[in-house]
Structure 1
């Protein structure tokens, strides 16, 4: 599904336009996402870089000191708008997209899998496939 969605940071001073379709929709349990985003699991969509455009506002990019990761955040409220992974994909947290759609994620944005589940710090009970590593590897069978 092709979409056009404008999302904003918590204070509303930054607007980001999402165009097209996400390349991936996942809950990521990898140590890099947990450490970099400060969460036990990152629920997000990954987009081609040209599908995510900052429309307005002042932002800063923080480059991870040792990994091929960066995050773009609002200068006013500090909320992360999106990260950029080692593949150059822009990773948009689902909390931001849910806020833009009235608190509920559009079905075209909901996670379809768990990644790096072997590295989890919390167990998740749902029907989504739980890949032990990337989505081309074995899955977790409880």
Structure 2
């Protein structure tokens, strides 16, 4: 799955690319991601920060920190969501919808304890984060 994948905000003022392969892909059910994405869950792809490059419109990127865990980046023109930096994890979440050429292959659901939409897809359902990302590692029934 390694390659270079291009993406952009809603209006195209900001363009990005990620190179390599994501560290993880899945769905987040936490209240913050649901509220930010205006959706019952958020499809994520986690990357090493050095895999992400802003190729156009860096001056048009706004940032919002609700918590120190998530530094959310968006286009100041259209409000389109681009990615979220996770400094404590040394990872960046490039929203799956932002990079449409990446074949999205989810492997896990995180913060399933906060779900508002049950999903029965056979993937592991984590109470919070996997232990390798600082979470409890506890899984929940589907």
Q: TM-score normalised to the size of structure 1?
A: 0.83
Residues 38-63 of structure 1, C-alpha deviations (whole Å, 9 max, x = no match): 43211110111110110011422323
Residue number in structure 2 paired with 1:119: 114
1:88 Cα deviation after fit: 3.2
Alignment of 1:74-85 (within 5 A): 74-85=75-86
1:65 Cα deviation after fit: 4.3
Gap change, CA 1:15 and 1:118, over 3 Å in 2: same
**RMSD of aligned C-alpha atoms?**
1.8
Q: Indicate whether 1:28 and 2:28 are aligned.
A: yes
Cα distance in structure 2, aligned partners of 1:96 and 1:37: 12
Residue number in structure 1 paired with 2:134: none
Gap change, CA 1:13 and 1:68, over 3 Å in 2: same
Single out whichever of 87-96 and 11-20 deviates more from structure 2: 87-96
Counting matched residue pairs gives 135
Residue number in structure 2 paired with 1:87: 89
Residue number in structure 1 paired with 2:50: 50
Relative to its length, the structure with more strand (as a share) is 2
Aligned partner of residue 46 in structure 2, secondary structure: strand
Residues 80-119 of structure 1, C-alpha deviations (whole Å, 9 max, x = no match): 1111123231111111222xx2xxx51xx32111011111
Contact 1:61-1:70 within 8 A present in 2 as well: no
Contact 2:62-2:75 within 8 A present in 1 as well: no
Aligned partner of residue 64 in structure 1, secondary structure: strand
Note the residue ranges of structure 1 that are not aligned, 5 or more in a row: none
Q: Indicate whether 1:138 and 2:138 are aligned.
A: yes
Cα distance in structure 1, aligned partners of 2:67 and 2:140: 29
Q: Indicate whether 1:110 and 2:111 are aligned.
A: no
